[in-house]
Amino acid sequence: MNDKDLHTFGWYAKRISKSLPPESFDPVPLRLLGGLAYVSVSLICFFLIGLNLHFTINLFLSVILGFSFAGLGFLGHEILHGTVVRRPWLRDFLGALAFWPLSTGPQLWRKWHNMNHHVHTQHDEKDPDAWPTLEKLAKSKYFRWVYLLPFPIRATFSFVSLSVQFTLHSIKCLFLYIGEFKVKNKVKVIIQAILPWTTWIVLLFIIGLEKWLFVYLIPLLIANFIVMAYISTNHRLNPITPVNDPLANSLTVTVPRWLDIIHFNFSYHTEHHLFPTMSSKYYPLVKKKVKEFWPERYHEMPMGKALYALWKTPRVYFDHNDLVDPYGKKIFGSLGHGLNPENVTKKDLTLHINGKPQSIEKDNTPPSPPL
Ligand SMILES: [Zn+2]
């Protein structure tokens, strides 16, 4: 798609809104029952792990806890968009509780996610969740080192790191945005970040390392992996876009129905970027409308296929619409720009010098940092 064909999310929302029922814009407090179920299940798991049962049973309980922590995170995301309750103090309080296992404070989350990620989705400078461009990469010693690793090692490393990425990114965003809060709010944001961590560390001293691993650390890694499996496929196969066009820069993944139920329809991500303040309960309806209005622009694929495409492609943008492996000197398309998840292909990276194409694939000199 040409850059001049891009439209803002407001442009699309305006055209679909008329064909949606008025109640789809109301908050849905009943979503809190899902949170209640997760908290109850978590407390039962905590209790059972405390009984010193067999190692394999504890591991199984950790998996249930991991799913519960992730589910609560998805609910926290909804709550903090104001789609569950509208009163600000209650929204923040419930959002804080839901994000407690992932240790992300409500005020920081709204700044990072609502005010920056949603407003500037896939903007190379302003979206805190966007992956770097080749120009940015050239300035980062860490990423340059990472891209010297052979592709299969790098891909394995990036998949394993999904199990810590949310937590690390949350800490990074705290440092990134803390300076932008006014003094009074700064204190609040820091307290909201420290309190959950304090409870988990105090718990370690109360119950001991072994139980703590099952009650907290293993579930935290599992929850990180689950939320990152969605977050990494939401935008990272799409191009960087000069206009925040959700149909161009977002991907809706499809998962089995039971996962949509326990993950609060988080898979409907393009729909979420069109209507972030609408309850996800109505996203299947929005999807139907989007596919009626703009079937050729809409990106959708099964989660497994999206993760496979993610595995096969590098995470550095080149000229906004391509992904580049800087040392392998290969470029890959993005969604809407030649990336076919069924058959991921790559082209030689060709640089234009003085208007003449220069294929550096034929150049067998050892890898050097990208320019
Ligand atoms: Zn959101």
10 Å Cβ neighbour count for 188? Answer: 16
SS3 73: helix
How far, in Å, from the CA of 249 to the mean position of ligand 1? 14
Does the structure show a pLDDT above 80 at 357?
no
How far, in Å, from the CA of 25 to the mean position of ligand 1? 16
How far, in Å, from the CA of 266 to the mean position of ligand 1? 9
Backbone φ and ψ for 333, nearest 5 degrees, come out as -75, 170
How far, in Å, from the CA of 202 to the mean position of ligand 1? 31
State what percent of residues in the chain have pLDDT above 70. Answer: 88
- pLDDT at position 122 is 82
Answer with the residue of higher pLDDT: 354 or 207: 207
How far, in Å, from the CA of 327 to the mean position of ligand 1? 34
Among residues 225, 238, 118, the alpha carbon closest in space to that of 163 is found at: 225
Does the structure show a pLDDT above 70 at 371?
no
Question: Rounded to whole angstroms, how far apart are CA atoms 179 and 105?
Answer: 16
The pair of structure tokens assigned to 169 is 């990114």
How far, in Å, from the CA of 324 to the mean position of ligand 1? 27
How far, in Å, from the CA of 118 to the mean position of ligand 1? 6
- pLDDT at position 320 is 75
In the structure, what pLDDT confidence band is assigned to residue 358 with cuts at 50, 70 and 90?
very low
Backbone φ and ψ for 143, nearest 5 degrees, come out as -65, -35
Structure-derived torsion over alpha carbons of residues 300, 244, 80, 183, reported in degrees to the nearest 10: 150
For the whole model, what pTM was predicted? 0.87
How far, in Å, from the CA of 89 to the mean position of ligand 1? 19
Does the structure show a pLDDT above 50 at 367?
no
Mean pLDDT, the chain, rounded, equals 87
